[in-house]
């Protein structure tokens, strides 16, 4: 028999009854039933119930073991009685009667309970992550992660993509976040950067003629953490294709992403035909460029119904500024004053002056609008709003007015709030869509200049002619995002592959041709020697997994994440460099001056 085990803790079944077997694993818990000891033994694969009776030679040792000790057990497999069968365990039809127990490794008092998975402070969980990872839910999430990544790899290979690894030490690149810099010992005073994404390298692979590339790529960004973005590093399904339009990318990747979701959705419905929603439409309809389509609420402009109306707050705003619009947020089943007052109070808690509303109710046979706005604008306008939005008895509508560029995010949050409060959101499905036609540039108010709204290497719609003749802020990009349930899970574009377009696009943001050539020399040179039209995307693996396992936080699907302060509590990183290390790199640490 093997030194440690003949079977795993998930392998035994009724067919093994009567056999003497050997298991090794962790003590999940110990129960004393009137002198009869029960030990739940756990390994990576599952759990087996061990029975130790007082007559067993193993009983004396069994009395000493505690949770999370590592033990080896030899014993006889017996069938459970019908009334004690555990249908929730793979090994629930049998139990192992211990004949010998060997303690392989004792455990100190635990700083973090494994059994039962009670809520526990995150700093403790991260410091003792090796214990946290023993917990069933997190352990299962990590196993599911490996399965999802393997499934992605398989699907990409099946449609003709080859996996290529790109460098980790590279040059700094404007991907929209801070770089992690790595000092060079050999080249004093110079630095490598960890890649924010393999963007330039994968484009160079297309120029090199590899046609279809993909990679499970590590990416590094020195960003502040948040629930849907980890500090430090993350992984993406990165891909690029040559001689393609954006429609080719969509048609290629929809089956892959749909297939991954269907494989791991555990029966939840998955979108079959991904809608393609222009960015501007998404903003005006959902108040977000990553809308949750499970929420049926769609906003509409109702400016005309308030122009010249008796509601002077909105009417005066409309008359004094041509940019002002009034947006309606219809709320089916929300037609009670109590709910409308709650929404108004929520709006005020976010710093807004309030949230105007109308709700409809039947007075006898007549359907009437109620609330201050209804009284001010009159019955005819109130009914016109109801008709436009398709509302009825028991429904409500909320209103936001001003410059949409300034209020659309709040309107989107109000839409989300109403949908969740009224339980209109179907949480048991995965709704995917493409958001397309993103703005190419955006205005940076603080710096009083334009900059790239997304990927600086995207092709502007209209090419060089559009860059030369159109208002930069009116330009659209061949840029697209894949969105699922309110999360951006992928982003991509058709790339610019023409050097003159690349130079002109950067010049409009204030960079000279010389700066472009200096900062993006590899890509700029490559474009001089025959670059094919190409495009691709990158899907955020961590976010996809978070959605599929139903986690609320990316740290629940990641092996060894940092905390909210971007610290690795397990390894103690970041840590100071020694004086010898700093001398070797010709570096000196200058503390930041403290503010008075």
Q: Which domain holds residue 262?
A: 138-277+432-579
User: What does the pLDDT read at residue 522?
Assistant: 86
E-only strand ranges, 299-382:
300-301, 325-331, 356-363, 366-370
Domain count, the chain: 3
Q: Are residues 394 and 485 in the same domain?
A: no
Among 82, 105, 128, identify where a domain stops.
105
Q: Are residues 451 and 407 in the same domain?
A: no
E-only strand ranges, 80-147:
94-105
Bridge pairing between strands 70-79 and 47-52: unpaired
139 annotated among ligand-binding-site residues:
no
Q: Is residue 289 part of a domain?
A: no
Burial grade of 8 (CB within 10 A; 0-12, 13-18, 19 or more): middle
Among 401, 421, 441, identify where a domain stops.
421
Q: Is residue 115 part of a domain?
A: no
Q: Is residue 587 part of a domain?
A: no
Please check whether residue 205 is in contact with residue 507, taking contact to mean a CB–CB distance below 8 angstroms.
Answer: no
Task: For residue 266, give the CATH number of its domain.
Answer: 3.30.930.10
The whole-angstrom distance between residue 503's C-alpha and the CA centroid of its chain comes to 33
Q: Is residue 76 part of a domain?
A: yes
Bridge pairing between strands 325-331 and 300-301: antiparallel
CA separation, residue 559 to residues 130, 154, 562 (Å): 9, 22, 10
514 annotated among ligand-binding-site residues:
no
* H-helix segments, 378-462: 379-389, 404-421
Q: Are residues 575 and 454 in the same domain?
A: yes
Q: Are residues 49 and 163 in the same domain?
A: no
127 half-sphere exposure, CB direction, 13 A CA radius:
8
The whole-angstrom distance between residue 405's C-alpha and the CA centroid of its chain comes to 25
Q: Are residues 309 and 206 in the same domain?
A: no
Q: Are residues 260 and 318 in the same domain?
A: no
277 annotated among ligand-binding-site residues:
no
Q: Are residues 337 and 242 in the same domain?
A: no
φ, ψ for residue 212, nearest 5 deg: -135, 105
User: What does the pLDDT read at residue 401?
Assistant: 96
Long-range contacts formed by 503-507: CB under 8 A, 24+ apart? 504/464, 504/467, 504/468, 505/440, 505/452, 505/456, 505/460, 505/467, 506/456
Q: Is residue 322 part of a domain?
A: yes
Q: Is residue 366 part of a domain?
A: yes
Please check whether residue 567 is in contact with residue 277, taking contact to mean a CB–CB distance below 8 angstroms.
Answer: no
222 annotated among ligand-binding-site residues:
yes
Please check whether residue 98 is in contact with residue 74, taking contact to mean a CB–CB distance below 8 angstroms.
Answer: yes
CA separation, residue 556 to residues 45, 217, 341, 549, 551 (Å): 20, 20, 36, 9, 6
175 annotated among ligand-binding-site residues:
yes
254 annotated among ligand-binding-site residues:
no
Task: For residue 33, give the CATH number of its domain.
Answer: 2.40.50.140
The three-point CA angle 575-576-582 to 5° equals 135
Bridge pairing between strands 449-452 and 441-444: antiparallel
71 half-sphere exposure, CB direction, 13 A CA radius:
30
Q: Are residues 404 and 447 in the same domain?
A: no
Please check whether residue 435 is in contact with residue 374, taking contact to mean a CB–CB distance below 8 angstroms.
Answer: no
Q: Are residues 269 and 299 in the same domain?
A: no
Among 421, 450, 477, identify where a domain stops.
421
Q: Is residue 64 part of a domain?
A: yes
Tens-digit pLDDT profile for the chain (596 aa)?
999 999 999 999 999 999 999 999 999 999 998 889 999 999 999 999 999 999 999 999 999 999 999 999 999 999 999 999 999 999 999 999 999 999 999 999 999 999 999 999 999 999 999 999 999 999 999 999 999 999 999 999 999 999 999 999 998 876 567 899 999 999 999 999 999 999 999 999 999 999 999 999 999 999 876 656 788 899 999 999 999 999 999 999 999 999 999 999 999 999 999 999 999 999 999 999 999 999 999 999 999 999 999 999 999 999 999 999 999 999 999 999 999 999 999 999 999 988 999 999 988 888 999 988 999 999 999 999 999 999 999 999 999 999 999 999 999 999 999 999 999 999 999 999 999 999 999 999 888 899 999 888 899 999 999 999 999 999 999 999 999 999 999 999 999 999 999 999 999 999 999 988 888 888 899 999 999 999 999 999 999 999 999 998 999 999 999 998 899 999 999 999 999 999 999 999 998 877 65
80 annotated among ligand-binding-site residues:
no
542 annotated among ligand-binding-site residues:
yes
Q: Are residues 268 and 315 in the same domain?
A: no
Q: Is residue 378 part of a domain?
A: yes
Q: pTM to 2 decimals?
A: 0.92
Q: Are residues 226 and 360 in the same domain?
A: no
Task: For residue 328, give the CATH number of its domain.
Answer: 3.30.1360.30
33 annotated among ligand-binding-site residues:
no
Cβ contacts of residue 446 below 8 Å, gap of 6+?
Answer: none
Q: Are residues 412 and 459 in the same domain?
A: no
């Amino acid at each position: 028999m093997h030194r440690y085990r003949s079977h795993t803790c998930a392998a035994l079944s009724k067919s093994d009854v009567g056999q003497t077997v050997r298991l090794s694993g962790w003590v999940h818990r110990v129960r004393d039933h009137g002198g009869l000891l029960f030990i739940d033994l756990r390994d990576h694969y599952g759990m087996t119930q061990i029975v130790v009776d007082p007559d067993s030679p193993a009983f004396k040792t069994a009395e000493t073991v505690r949770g999370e000790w590592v033990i080896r057990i030899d014993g006889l497999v017996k069938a459970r009685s019908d009334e004690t069968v555990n249908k929730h365990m793979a090994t629930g039809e049998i139990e192992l009667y211990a004949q010998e127990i060997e303690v392989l490794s004792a455990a100190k008092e635990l700083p973090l309970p494994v059994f039962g998975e009670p809520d526990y402070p995150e700093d403790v969980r991260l410091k003792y992550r090796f214990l946290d990872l023993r917990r069933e839910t997190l352990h299962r999430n990590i196993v599911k992660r490996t399965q999802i990544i393997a499934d992605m790899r398989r699907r990409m290979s099946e449609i003709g993509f080859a996996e290529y690894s790109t460098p980790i030490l590279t040059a700094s690149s404007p991907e929209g976040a801070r770089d992690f810099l790595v000092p060079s010992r050999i080249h004093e005073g110079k630095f490598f950067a960890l890649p924010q994404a393999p963007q330039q390298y994968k484009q160079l692979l297309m120029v090199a003629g590899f046609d279809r590339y993909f990679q499970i790529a590590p990416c590094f960004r020195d960003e502040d953490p948040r629930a849907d973005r980890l500090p430090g590093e993350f992984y993406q399904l990165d891909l690029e294709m040559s001689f393609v339009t954006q429609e080719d990318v969509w048609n290629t990747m929809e089956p892959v992403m749909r297939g991954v979701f269907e494989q791991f959705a555990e029966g939840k419905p998955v979108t079959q035909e991904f809608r393609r929603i222009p960015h501007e439409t998404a903003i005006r309809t959902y108040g977000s460029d990553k809308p949750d389509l499970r929420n049926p609420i769609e906003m509409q402009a109702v400016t005309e119904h308030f122009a010249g109306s008796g509601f002077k707050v909105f009417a005066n705003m409309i008359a004094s500024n041509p940019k002002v619009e009034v947006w309606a947020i219809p709320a089916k089943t929300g037609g009670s004053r109590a709910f409308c007052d709650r929404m108004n109070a929520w709006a005020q808690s976010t710093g807004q002056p309030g949230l105007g509303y109308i709700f409809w109710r039947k007075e006898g046979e007549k359907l009437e609008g109620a609330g201050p706005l209804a009284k001010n604008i009159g019955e005819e306008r109130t009914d016109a709003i109801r008709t436009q939005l398709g509302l009825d008895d028991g429904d409500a509508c909320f209103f936001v007015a001003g410059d949409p560029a300034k209020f659309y995010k709040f309107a989107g949050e109000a839409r989300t709030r109403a949908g969740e409060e009224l339980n209109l959101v179907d949480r048991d499905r995965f709704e995917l869509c493409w958001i397309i036609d993103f703005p190419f540039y955006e205005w940076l108010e603080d710096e009083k200049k334009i900059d790239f709204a997304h990927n600086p290497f995207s092709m502007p719609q209209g090419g060089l002619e559009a860059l030369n003749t159109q208002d930069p802020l009116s330009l659209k990009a061949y840029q697209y995002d894949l969105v699922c349930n309110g999360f951006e899970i992928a982003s991509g574009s058709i790339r610019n592959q023409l050097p003159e377009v690349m130079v002109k696009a950067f010049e409009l943001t204030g960079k000279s041709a010389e700066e472009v050539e200096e900062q993006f020399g590899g890509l700029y040179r490559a474009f001089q020697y025959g670059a094919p039209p190409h495009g691709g995307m990158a899907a955020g693996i961590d976010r996809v997994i978070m959605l599929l396992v139903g986690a609320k936080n990316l740290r629940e699907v990641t092996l060894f994440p940092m905390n909210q302060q971007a610290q690795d509590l397990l390894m103690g990183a970041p840590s100071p460099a020694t004086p010898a290390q700093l001398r070797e790199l010709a570096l000196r640490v200058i503390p930041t001056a403290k503010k008075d």
